[in-house]
Amino acid sequence: MTMTRTRVGIVLLVCAVLLPAHATITARLSDLSLKPTEKIEYDFTPTTTGEIMFRLALRTSPATVRVQLFFEGRPAIDQTGSATQTAKTEVSEADVGRPWRLVVTNLSSQTVEGRFELTYPRRFCKEISVQYRVKVSYEIGTELEDLHCQQLYNTLRSLPSEHLRRLREIRAREPDLYLYGQYFPPSLIELPGLRAGRTFTLVAYHELGHLVHFTRSTADQQERWEKLFNESGRDPDNFARDPIDRSLYAMTNQYEDFAVTYSAYIADSQVYISEALTRSQRSRPLLLQKFKLIVEYFRHVTDNQQRVYIYRVGTEAPIPTIYRASVPVTAESLPDFTGPIQWESF
């Protein structure tokens, strides 16, 4: 949905996502429109080995379009066709970091329209594709660099694998003054703009929180969360402050309440739970009950002992370190922060 003040959102519609084989990062020209003899040119640089693939689907018929791919000024692909075209080539180790240029020319006597996608390998986005089978894409003008791919890769690696089971695509698109991210159930996350740094990481966690809420919650967990949200009313003490901007965005609805609480838990589990304990001692127990429910999603068994992952996100720029540790669960169903904590970093 579109919002006038808020930073993150959820779009309640079902969308199908196609995952190209061996995709690493896909640049999208969704609304290609070329007048007779007109052409477009796009420069890009692969940063790891892998496949370059382009797909052209025209809505205009008849039409003739020439597609050329140049490597350091030399033609690697030169083909002419109509309707739908697909071509592939490989980036070798010696070619990594060297510039390529794509040129699409309309040879028809009429304007042609359609869609164009270029897929090429980038570091860390390649790892995301291989390990998680997640398509990473961007609209032209919002290019994802290696540092964005690395942040996304670190974020995904830090989470339990079952949290990501339904994730199929992460898409960057043009910046939006009023929106940091959107989740399209069941499997697509959009990140408007490229705010590298801690905000970028926390926005990704927020949207992944929506994914977890929709795809990993049992009916009982959904019912309990809805009850907690309804009982929270408009009392600020019953909500976690958003780790992105310290706002009370969680009060928007039960879905944003979950995503904010989920991302807050990852931003700094100990700090947020300590605050919830303090509020509970002041007869405001609902936030603590919410964190206890969030803890359920991070519980696991190690050596026949119930444990839970705890987190904190650093402040380094442009790529913050994500810290995770596995600690015992207390009798109160909370992480045990009293013993030695062995952090691993991502």
Q: pLDDT at residue 285 above 90? A: yes
Confidence band (pLDDT; 50, 70, 90) for 193? confident
pLDDT at residue 8 in the model: 52
Residue-wise pLDDT tens digits, 208-217: 999 999 999 9
Residue-wise pLDDT tens digits, 39-69: 999 999 999 999 999 999 988 888 899 999 9
Residue predicted with more confidence, 81 or 283? 283
Domain boundary among 100, 119, 138: 119
Do residues 65 and 148 both lie within one domain? no
The pairs formed by 81-87 with CB atoms below 8 angstroms and a separation of 24 or more are 82/58, 83/57, 83/58, 84/55, 84/56, 84/57, 84/58, 85/54, 85/55, 85/56, 86/53, 86/54, 86/55, 86/56, 87/53, 87/54
Nearest to 93 by CA among 49, 154, 137: 49
Quick check: is 276 in a domain?
yes
Do residues 221 and 204 both lie within one domain? yes
Quick check: is 16 in a domain?
no
Average pLDDT over every residue of 60-79: 92
Do residues 317 and 212 both lie within one domain? yes
Q: What percent of the chain stands above pLDDT 90?
A: 80
Do residues 94 and 53 both lie within one domain? yes
Q: Which CATH number does the domain housing residue 111 bear? A: 2.60.120.380
Do residues 134 and 186 both lie within one domain? yes
Average pLDDT over every residue of 123-134: 96
Average pLDDT over every residue of 132-152: 92
pLDDT at residue 59 in the model: 87
Quick check: is 45 in a domain?
yes
Quick check: is 190 in a domain?
yes
Give every CB contact of residue 281 below 8 A, 6+ residues apart in sequence: none
Q: How far apart are CA 172 and CA 143, in angstroms?
A: 8
Do residues 194 and 333 both lie within one domain? yes
Q: Which CATH number does the domain housing residue 327 bear? A: 3.40.390
Tell me, yes or no, if the pTM score tops 0.85: yes
Do residues 166 and 245 both lie within one domain? yes
Do residues 130 and 216 both lie within one domain? yes
The number of folded domains in the chain is 2
- How long is the chain? 346
Parent domain of 70: 25-119
Average pLDDT over every residue of 154-159: 98
Task: Work out the mean pLDDT of the chain and round it to a whole number.
Answer: 91
Q: pLDDT at residue 23 above 80? A: no
Quick check: is 17 in a domain?
no
Average the pLDDT over each of 12-26, 70-84, 106-120, 149-163 and give the range with the smallest value: 12-26
Confidence band (pLDDT; 50, 70, 90) for 21? very low
Domain boundary among 119, 144, 161: 119
Count CB atoms within 10 A of the CB of residue 230.
9
Do residues 79 and 140 both lie within one domain? no
Q: pLDDT at residue 99 above 90? A: yes
Q: pLDDT at residue 13 above 80? A: no
Q: Characterize the bridge pairing of strands 25-34 and 135-139.
A: parallel
pLDDT at residue 116 in the model: 86
Do residues 168 and 48 both lie within one domain? no
Q: How far apart are CA 306 and CA 319, in angstroms?
A: 32
Domain boundary among 65, 86, 119: 119
